[in-house]
Structure 1
Amino acid sequence: MIRISFKQGTLLIEGNVRVPNAVWDERSGSFRALALYYRDIINYLKKSKIPFKDEVLDLLPCPDLAAAYEASGKKLELRDYQAEALVSWGENDRWGVLVLPTGSGKTLVGIRAIAGCNTPALVIVPTLDLLEQWKRQLEESFSMEIGKLGGGEKKILPVTVSTYDSAYIHAETLGNRFGLLIFDEVHHLPAAGYRSIAEFSAAPCRLGLTATYEREDELHSELNRLVGGKVYEKHVSELAGGHLAPYRIERIAAALTDEERKEYDRYYSIYINYLRKTGMVIRGPRDFQKLVMKSGRDPEARKALLARNAARDLAFNTDSKIEKLKEILEAHREDRIFIFTEHNRLVHRISREFLIPAITYRTPAKERSSILEKFKKGKYRAVVTSKVLDEGIDVPEANIGIIASGTGSKLAYIQRLGRILRKKEGKEAVLYEIITEETTEAGTARRRKEAISTRKGAGKTGRESRMKKEKSPGGGSPAHI
Structure 2
Amino acid sequence: MKVDPTRPLIVQSDLSVLLETHHPEFESVRGVLSRFADLIKSPEHLHMYRITPLSLWNATAAGMPIEQMSACLQQHAKFGVPSSVLSGIRKYANRYGILRMEDVGNELYLVSDDTVVLKEIRAHDSLKKYLEDTRGERAIAISPAYRGVLKQELIKLGYPVEDLAAYRSGEFLPIQLRDEETIEEPFQLRDYQKSAVDAFHRIGEGGSGVLVLPCGAGKTVIGIAAMARCNCATLILTSNVTSVKQWKREILSKTGLKEDQVGEYNGTTKDVRPVTIATYQILTHRGNKKDDFAHMRLFSEREWGLIIYDEVHLLPAPVFRATADIQATRRLGLTATLIREDGREEDVFSLVGPKKFDMAWKELESQGWIAKVTCQEVRVHLSEGDRDLYGASGARQQFRIAGENTGKQQVIDHLLRLHVDEPTLIIGQYIDQLEQISSHTGAPMISGSMAYEQREELYDQFKKGQLPLLIVSKVANFAVDLPDAAVAIQVSGSYGSRQEEAQRLGRILRPKSSGANAAVFYSIISEDTKEQDFAMKRQLFLVEQGYEYRITRWSSETKDRKGEQHEI
Output the TM-score relative to the length of structure 2.
Answer: 0.64
Q: Does 1:464 align with 2:552?
A: no
SS class of match (2:377): strand
User: What are the superposed Cα offsets for residues 434-475 of structure 1, whole Å, 9 maximum, x if unpaired?
Assistant: 1111111111111111111123xx14xxx4322234499xxx
Contact 1:72 1:141 survives alignment (8 Å): no
The number of residues matched between the two structures is 399
Q: Check 1:71–1:59 CA distance in 2 against 1; reply closer, same or farther (3 A cut).
A: farther
Which residue pairs with 1:225 in the alignment? 350
Contact 1:75 1:141 survives alignment (8 Å): no
Which residue pairs with 2:48 in the alignment? none
Specify which of 182, 189, 192 is matched with residue 308 of structure 2.
Answer: 182
Displacement of 1:258: 4.1
Correspondence 1:6-405 to 2 at 5 A: 23=130, 33-34=145-146, 36=148, 59-60=170-171, 62-66=172-176, 72-73=182-183, 76-91=187-202, 92-144=205-257, 145-167=261-283, 169-172=294-297, 174-175=299-300, 177-189=303-315, 191-241=316-366, 242-267=368-393, 307-405=394-492
Q: Check 1:41–1:385 CA distance in 2 against 1; reply closer, same or farther (3 A cut).
A: closer
Higher relative contact order (CA 8 A, sep 6+): 1
Separation in structure 2 between the aligned mates of residue 452 and residue 203 of structure 1, nearest angstrom: 36
Q: Which moved more, 1:215-224 or 1:309-318?
A: 309-318
Q: Does 1:429 align with 2:541?
A: no
Separation in structure 1 between the aligned mates of residue 551 and residue 281 of structure 2, nearest angstrom: 42
Specify which of 502, 515, 527 is matched with residue 414 of structure 1.
Answer: 502
User: What are the superposed Cα offsets for residues 389-418 of structure 1, whole Å, 9 maximum, x if unpaired?
Assistant: 000211112110001112310011000101
Q: Which moved more, 1:347-356 or 1:143-152?
A: 143-152
Q: Which moved more, 1:358-367 or 1:242-251?
A: 358-367
Q: Check 1:345–1:251 CA distance in 2 against 1; reply closer, same or farther (3 A cut).
A: same
Displacement of 1:75: 6.6
Contact 1:171 1:196 survives alignment (8 Å): no
> What code does the residue aligned with 2:197 have?
L
> What code does the residue aligned with 1:362 have?
S
Which residue pairs with 1:300 in the alignment? none
User: What are the superposed Cα offsets for residues 288-344 of structure 1, whole Å, 9 maximum, x if unpaired?
Assistant: xxxxxxxxxxxxxxxxxxx22332333222332100100001111111111111111
SS class of match (1:319): coil
Separation in structure 2 between the aligned mates of residue 72 and residue 38 of structure 1, nearest angstrom: 46
> What code does the residue aligned with 1:428 have?
A
Contact 1:149 1:167 survives alignment (8 Å): no
Contact 1:131 1:161 survives alignment (8 Å): yes
Separation in structure 2 between the aligned mates of residue 437 and residue 415 of structure 1, nearest angstrom: 24
Separation in structure 2 between the aligned mates of residue 136 and residue 38 of structure 1, nearest angstrom: 38
Q: Check 1:254–1:139 CA distance in 2 against 1; reply closer, same or farther (3 A cut).
A: same
Q: Check 1:17–1:452 CA distance in 2 against 1; reply closer, same or farther (3 A cut).
A: closer
Contact 2:375 2:549 survives alignment (8 Å): yes
Contact 1:253 1:468 survives alignment (8 Å): yes
SS class of match (2:480): coil
Separation in structure 1 between the aligned mates of residue 168 and residue 296 of structure 2, nearest angstrom: 14
> What code does the residue aligned with 2:552 have?
M
Displacement of 1:215: 0.5
Q: Which moved more, 1:145-154 or 1:437-446?
A: 145-154
Output the TM-score relative to the length of structure 1.
Answer: 0.75
Displacement of 1:42: 11
Separation in structure 2 between the aligned mates of residue 182 and residue 31 of structure 1, nearest angstrom: 25
Contact 1:37 1:202 survives alignment (8 Å): no
User: What are the superposed Cα offsets for residues 243-294 of structure 1, whole Å, 9 maximum, x if unpaired?
Assistant: 1111101221211244433432333xxxxxxxxxxxxxxxxxxxxxxxxxxx
**RMSD, matched Cα:** 3.3
Q: Which moved more, 1:423-432 or 1:162-171?
A: 162-171
Contact 1:180 1:203 survives alignment (8 Å): no
Q: Check 1:313–1:149 CA distance in 2 against 1; reply closer, same or farther (3 A cut).
A: closer
Q: Check 1:76–1:67 CA distance in 2 against 1; reply closer, same or farther (3 A cut).
A: closer
Contact 1:131 1:163 survives alignment (8 Å): yes
Which residue pairs with 1:479 in the alignment? none
Displacement of 1:68: 7.3
User: What are the superposed Cα offsets for residues 355-383 of structure 1, whole Å, 9 maximum, x if unpaired?
Assistant: 11111122122221222122112222111
Separation in structure 2 between the aligned mates of residue 183 and residue 361 of structure 1, nearest angstrom: 22
Q: Check 1:339–1:23 CA distance in 2 against 1; reply closer, same or farther (3 A cut).
A: same
Displacement of 1:71: 7.8
Contact 1:188 1:194 survives alignment (8 Å): no
Displacement of 1:166: 4.2
Separation in structure 1 between the aligned mates of residue 169 and residue 207 of structure 2, nearest angstrom: 20
Separation in structure 2 between the aligned mates of residue 31 and residue 109 of structure 1, nearest angstrom: 33
Q: Check 1:196–1:172 CA distance in 2 against 1; reply closer, same or farther (3 A cut).
A: farther
SS class of match (1:193): helix
> What code does the residue aligned with 1:320 have?
G
Q: Which moved more, 1:199-208 or 1:221-230?
A: 199-208
What residue ranges of structure 2 are gaps of 5+ in the alignment? 1-105, 111-126, 133-141, 152-160, 285-293, 558-568
Contact 2:235 2:275 survives alignment (8 Å): yes
